[in-house]
Structure 1
Amino acid sequence: MIDPGRRYPLPVSNPAGRVNSPSRAVVLAFLAVVLAGTSLLSLPIAAEEGQETPWTSALFTATSAVCVTGLAVLDTPAHWSVFGEVVILTLFQVGGIGIMSLSSILALIISGRLGLRARLSAQAETGSLGPGDIRQVILGVVGVTLAVETVTAAVLAARFMIGYGEPFGRALYYGVFHAVSAFTNAGFALFSDSMMRFVRDVWICLPLTLAVVAGGLGAPVYTVLRRHWRRPSRWSLHAKITLGMTAILLFGGALAITISEWNNPETFGPLSPGLRILAGFFHSAMTRSGGLNSVDTSQMHENSWLISDVLMFIGAGSASTGGGIKVTTFALLGYVILAELRGEPDVTAGRRRISEQLQRQALTIALVSVAAVVTGTLVMMMLTPFALDRVLFEVISAFGTVGLSTGITAQVGTAGHLVLTALMFIGRLGPVTLGAALALHVQTRRFRYPEERPLVG
């Protein structure tokens, strides 16, 4: 019988050659769904009559949907038919719930049982709290997803029907599509200007904002809240960090964006003070990986783009529908810096010591992500004529699976689209699979090298 509190040694080799890491199944599952989506979107029935869909555009759209990004090279309502829109909706719903979890369950059904190594890997990738909680977490994810999406869809459908005179069927369709898009942080919209026409409508912007925030918290947080929502003192450190950092980044980002764009005549300037605050709050939430926009992002000030870059790179919570390096990774790096500045021997957070292994994992994920963004930006600069600020925004948006754009997505050419497609795929799978691999790849040496102190700084 497995004791959850005991630390078992993990094998460092696999002589039998068996594929016992769900990480590989995750990548293959994502790739399979992307290719299936590409095939469906390439069909003539997926486009409006008279429209042709190039294979690269279908691949880009399918990847953007499965990786819940929202970048688009084609005008969603103008190019895609209802069939195509439903395919896109299905793709980002599947991507939002998480093929990581579904592939772990599939492996359990096929094999009949999971070995300890595979079980711990699935636990790391799904955000489960214990080796036996995988099924419970998945059911919880599905339950929370359907609950939030249903409530959001009902509010939006009622608003579209009452406020804009849409017939019941179309209002319900709009409500469901945008509710799922918001909770999964997909960033797709059935309006050519995204949500810009609703910038003055609280009943559209606020439900979408709350759904995006809810989708960015993650399964582990909901598990803790379900068990101990009345006792914050019993919340896990992960839940406390995620909720705290979410609030700080959400309201701090809203304040910074609102101040930056307050007098911009192309964005917040024509709005009343209250609506400017709403627009700033909306944009701040969408940089967490939401991807929708209520003002023209291409007309924002450059300093607003830089603020957005930072928020997009950090992203949302672990095991959530959001992307980025995750708020816990960012917070752990902050705790490491704080401990070093104070000269403390241990890194602590909430009266808990952070292991050196976890510190190295956070540092590795952050630096590898920086390298991916820098490399992607350099390649895009070589392929396109656009300035650094716009290219950097586009690259971070793709890697962080955000979906916001300064308006250059459709103009970067086929090679640029392929680069962005790769960044979306890597950005969605990279931090998750890398984190799981680092957590599992722990080796014990029977010796230590002599210590040396090279100069730092």
Structure 2
Amino acid sequence: MRERLDGAARRSPARLALAVFALVIAAVTGLLSLPVATASGQRAPFADALFTAASAVCVTGLTTVDTATYWSGTGQVIIMVAIKVGGLGIITLASLLGLAVSRRLGLRQRIIAASETKALRLGEVGSLLRAIVISSTALEVSIAVVLLPSFLASGEGVGSAAYHSLFYGISAFNNAGFVVHDGGISGWVGNPFVLGPLAIGVFVGSLGFPVLLSVAKGLRRVDGVRHGRRRWNLHTRLTLATTLIVLALSIVAFAAFEWTNPRTLGGMGLGDRLLNAVFAGVMPRSGGFSTLDVGDMHQSTWALQDLLMFIGGGSASTAGGIKVTTLAVLVLATIAEARGDRDVEAFGRRIPPASLRLAVTVLLAGATLVVVATMALLAITGESLDVVLYEAVSAFGTCGLSTGYTQHLPDAGKYVLTALMFAGRTGTMTLAAALALRDRRRVVRLPEERPVVG
């Protein structure tokens, strides 16, 4: 058995990674199908168990049943563990499996892990994986510690408050968006000591481990000198710059669209409006928490959130979407083309054409997945395009925001979204990793001729 797994890891690490992810979802589905996992003591329908398992492992947050009331304490713990495992990422899981099987990372595994985690050298991959596990756990516990006083102040017992704090800490950092309070987090709509830690956890988790590691290295002193941003690589600079720009535009646009809506921000005081505008601006990055009913928002806000969920967060992060670096490369290429520049440049560095081709491929692959899933849902449900598109983009971006229609989907629709969550979480980054390894060299190159474009 060990030899078979080792051979599979060497022949096709990407396929092994997908298989591991699928097996984890299958295992969680089996556990959630047990009678002890539901509050009623009856077996959950297979479609609901599979959907919840995929949503948890893919750190999405979409649900077909209410997490707080449908699942028992055992079921919620299973979901929490699934979020933790899924948040470590598909490539991390595959690499850890490779370590367990062969007690070392093979060269091809290191190359794939390096391409996904953006490690600068192959030798950094093993230490990066350890840093991922340690740092993610530390940040989740930190969020839980900050949340604990607020839950205690709301009248919860120590055990219940500690459990809820840990659940939300894991759910926030991993951008899962699962909630275990009846009614979600709407009860803390004006509490910055709950919304603040959740928003920060989602934001930090969506940056990506390579960025966090690069920033941490920049804060260290070398020969008594702290180099700071001078030690950041291009990936870190692009991710942070694009993230902050998109976040600022998101907050401003959400506030502009919903400021006077009496069903959302319009019924709040100034302080609560600002707090919830910032919170709502962070969540479409892949967080999925919501203090406001998405169904009460304007359709212009839905369109804004569709775009933000599709973009997602940073590469090798707990966020989904096509990733902000993909957006950055495409925008920079557009600017370079408009200026007539031969090279795409950013922060004193030249971006190779291969990165642009990869960005275009990821964009088209993501758009294709969303379009195909949307058409399938339209045929299955007969619901309006705006509602179906919102749910599809949320599933692809592993965000978890919902108009509320997901809980009314027929089983066929649940299976479509389940497949989309899996593809959104694993498909684009596996495609990116696979294409990054392809470097076919041809002795003969065909004559160049430009088609008419535009």
Give me the TM-score of the superposition, normalised by structure 1.
0.94
Query: 2:280 corresponds to which residue?
Result: 283
Partner amino acid, structure 1, of 2:207 = L
Match runs of 1:134-145 below 5 Å? 134-145=125-136
Partner amino acid, structure 2, of 1:378 = M
Distance 2:293 2:9 in 1: 51
Distance 1:29 1:125 in 2: 16
Pick one of 198, 218, 227 that aligns with 2:208: 218
Partner amino acid, structure 2, of 1:442 = D
Say yes or no: does 1:267 pair with 2:264. Answer: yes
User: Residues 195-215 of structure 1: CA distance to partner in whole angstroms, max 9, x if unpaired?
Assistant: 112111111111100000010
Say yes or no: does 1:129 pair with 2:106. Answer: no
Contact in 2 for aligned 1:309/1:396 (Cα 8 Å): yes
Query: 1:394 corresponds to which residue?
Result: 391
Quote how far apart the aligned CAs of 1:115 are. Answer: 4.0
Tell me the SS of whatever aligns to 2:40: coil
Distance 2:47 2:60 in 1: 16
User: Residues 371-399 of structure 1: CA distance to partner in whole angstroms, max 9, x if unpaired?
Assistant: 11111111111111221111111000000
Contact in 1 for aligned 2:395/2:420 (Cα 8 Å): yes
Query: 1:307 corresponds to which residue?
Result: 304
Partner amino acid, structure 1, of 2:378 = M
User: Residues 204-245 of structure 1: CA distance to partner in whole angstroms, max 9, x if unpaired?
Assistant: 111100000010111111121121134212211111111111
Aligned residue pairs total 441
Distance 1:339 1:386 in 2: 41
Partner amino acid, structure 1, of 2:26 = L
User: Residues 158-214 of structure 1: CA distance to partner in whole angstroms, max 9, x if unpaired?
Assistant: 11102x111111110110101110000011001232211211111111110000001
Distance 2:37 2:105 in 1: 40
Tell me the SS of whatever aligns to 2:55: helix
Match runs of 1:53-452 below 5 Å? 53-162=44-153, 164-229=154-219, 230=226, 231-452=228-449
Say yes or no: does 1:40 pair with 2:15. Answer: no
Unaligned stretches of 5+ residues in structure 1: 1-15
User: Residues 1-31 of structure 1: CA distance to partner in whole angstroms, max 9, x if unpaired?
Assistant: xxxxxxxxxxxxxxx9984332112101110
Distance 1:112 1:27 in 2: 20
Quote how far apart the aligned CAs of 1:119 are. Answer: 2.0
Contact in 1 for aligned 2:39/2:70 (Cα 8 Å): yes
Comparing 57-66 with 111-120, greater Cα deviation is found at: 111-120
Partner amino acid, structure 1, of 2:72 = S
Distance 2:69 2:347 in 1: 51
Relative distance call for 1:431 and 1:18 in structure 2 (3 A) is: closer
Quote how far apart the aligned CAs of 1:112 are. Answer: 4.3
Relative distance call for 1:288 and 1:112 in structure 2 (3 A) is: same
Tell me the SS of whatever aligns to 2:79: helix
Relative distance call for 1:158 and 1:377 in structure 2 (3 A) is: same
Q: Which runs of 4+ in 1 moved over 6 A?
A: none
Distance 2:271 2:253 in 1: 15
Distance 2:80 2:130 in 1: 21
Aligned-residue Cα RMSD (Å) equals: 1.4
Query: 1:24 corresponds to which residue?
Result: 15
Contact in 1 for aligned 2:152/2:158 (Cα 8 Å): yes
Partner amino acid, structure 2, of 1:141 = I
Distance 1:40 1:34 in 2: 10
Distance 1:355 1:243 in 2: 20
Tell me the SS of whatever aligns to 2:141: helix
Quote how far apart the aligned CAs of 1:109 are. Answer: 3.7
